[in-house]
Structure 1
């Protein structure tokens, strides 16, 4: 009986996509009174709103040279992180999170997802389609701020700076609207990149959408059992539809 229950729990876990959720109070700053960004950083299943514990990450803006301090908080009953950043100058700001590796026993692998969030300040709107230079990265092919629900979003997946073809991209809505999926297949949408590393997706509801391009590469030794496990590397991008 215990074996059956364990198997069911494992299957449920496998059916849910892990996302490093990275959102802010806005993706466009037009007024000085709104120039302080508040970041929400957590590890979870965003559509089902099921949280997981996240150890302390690192947060940067535009490059690894510009680190932003993070503060521990709680999200959906689990350890999560928050941060603030004051924007003083016009520009396009690209924020990204470097997490600690997360071991998922049910899948027998480590998960390292690096999410990116792009914010425009004071209408400059230049450089949003330029990569930061991350090893795994999604570059938007559509202006990522000012999108409506129903708009087509396109992104290019880069691996070591080159287009990554035939890569699965998982897509989920941050479901704080209490929407119900018809079945488990509708929780996580999946698209694949073409020969040029480009994928397309129509965001059919307002809110934050997470795009996770998954590339399995490398191994990490588990300190508990001494075994090496594969690493699921995720290039993530969070986009808001209005």
Structure 2
């Protein structure tokens, strides 16, 4: 049996480890504001089911809100909100009109040495102002984006969430979607397969998933960009572009 040198052993051990799913979180304090008013949005780059580790998140390239057909730049409203010594962000804004407010973030590229690629995950979440039930299916126009076919507000636990994965506006056939929920620590996955659920879209880019537990669920459609980026060591490397949407499931009888 040939013994691996220390460097080779380190590489082999790294390859044997399960890849952690990175999720760009964009989480409001509530998904419906029956009376409108202020809403706080927290931005964190982390591993939701495993409750970390939190990764350093540079100030986003874009952060805004689509409402009433217009995009509002919210980047000036962002303030640092470090978690576990890593940079994260928060912002508060007022919803003064009925209708969906679609908050979105385009983060700076993140270098993932374990996977040898740059990661850019465009994420969004829908907050319904004054419980209007309107405007929730509008598209921001992100490079990779999930178009909801189920209204992402007012979902009961167990409801089926359905969406279409789009890249540059066109459906992505058989796109892979990773699914995780924000774990409060009460769920211990039996093994690594339970940490990240994986589903595939159909030939029309459409997927569905029934959320079995109350809380925030993230759907991350992953694609490989046609362009490359420069890694910190100067190499040209592939780019993983993700389109994420966060939706909240609520138990019947819960406040």
Normalising to structure 1: TM-score of the pair?
0.93
Deviation track 1:185-240 (CA, whole Å, cap 9, x = no partner) reads 11000011111110011110010001000010121012x32211100000000001
Give the 4+ runs in structure 1 shifted more than 3 A: 1-12
Within the alignment, does 1:190 sit opposite 2:198 as a pair? yes
Deviation track 1:157-178 (CA, whole Å, cap 9, x = no partner) reads 1111111111100000111143
Please provide the CA RMSD for this pair. 1.7
> Could you say which residue in structure 2 is the equivalent of 1:55?
58
SS in 2 for 1:8: helix
Deviation track 1:4-32 (CA, whole Å, cap 9, x = no partner) reads 456435643x5210001110100101124
Deviation track 1:36-68 (CA, whole Å, cap 9, x = no partner) reads 111110110110011111111131001895111
Within the alignment, does 1:43 sit opposite 2:49 as a pair? no
SS in 1 for 2:146: strand
Which structure has the greater CA radius of gyration?
2
SS in 1 for 2:81: strand
Of 104, 109, 118, the residue aligned with 1:101 is: 109
> Distance in 1 between the 2:185 and 2:50 partners?
11
The question of whether the paired residues in 1 share the 8 Å contact of 2:34 and 2:130 is answered with: yes
SS in 2 for 1:15: coil
> Could you say which residue in structure 1 is the equivalent of 2:159?
151
The question of whether the paired residues in 1 share the 8 Å contact of 2:51 and 2:185 is answered with: no
More strand by share: 1
| Residues 55-64 or 180-189, more deviating | 55-64
Normalising to structure 2: TM-score of the pair?
0.88
Q: Give 5+ residue unaligned stretches, structure 1.
A: none
> Could you say which residue in structure 2 is the equivalent of 1:23?
27
